[in-house]
Amino acid sequence: MSNNKNFKKKPRWKLLHQYYSYTGFYSFVGKSLLKAAIPIAVFVVGLIAVHFFVIDINDVLAYITANFPPIGVLSVFFLSESILGLIPPEIFIAWAGKSLHPNWYLFALALLSYLGGIVSYFAGRGIASIPSVFVYLEVKMAKHIKNMRKWGGFLIVVGALLPVPFAISSIAAGIIKFPFGSYLLFGLLRFLRFFIYGVMIFGALN
């Protein structure tokens, strides 16, 4: 009887901690962080190396800024973020850093990435209503969907913050019909990611 009382008194955060420990969430996040650190470091070092030894990145970005309208660049980015995150956002963040209004364009990129995730979420909801496509993705995205069912919002946080395609987390959330309001709330961390990356990349180009 005493043991049952102690169990009932256990704080919710401890119960959650136990659950995430048992299901391997912390291990998953740790591995994801390690994987995230490597491509970020490689990208920044590669960017600096190209800048100093191959071609002035500032000149390339200045050329793109001068010859391609911002609406075109932003449209390509939004399309990419809505379809599996095909193009690394870091490229667009570097472009924003060399525009006349870098902070405004960085915010625009973060907003478009967030909205692209919403498009992916509803794409997932639509996919779930097509049996043949749903079965196919259940196989192709089995691990991701399984993790989403286990960890829900925390996996959206990982997708929003780490350099993994946010669209994939969003599609998985849509497929399992994760509550839309909660998805929107967790997805707001996408803005934090772009701010952090903006500080890193803007600094590397200056």
- Cβ neighbourhood burial of 64 (10 Å; 0-12, 13-18, 19+): middle
Contacts with 79 (C-beta within 8 Å, 6 or more apart), sequence order: 116
Give the predicted TM-score (pTM) of the model. Answer: 0.71
User: Residue 140 to residues 14, 17, 145, 179: CA-CA distances in angstroms?
Assistant: 34, 30, 10, 23
Question: Tens of pLDDT along 31-45?
Answer: 666 666 666 677 667
Out of 77-86, 95-104, 171-180, 197-206, pick the least confident: 197-206
Q: Is the pLDDT of residue 6 over 60?
A: no
Tens-digit pLDDT profile for residues 155-188:
788 888 877 778 888 988 888 889 999 999 999 9
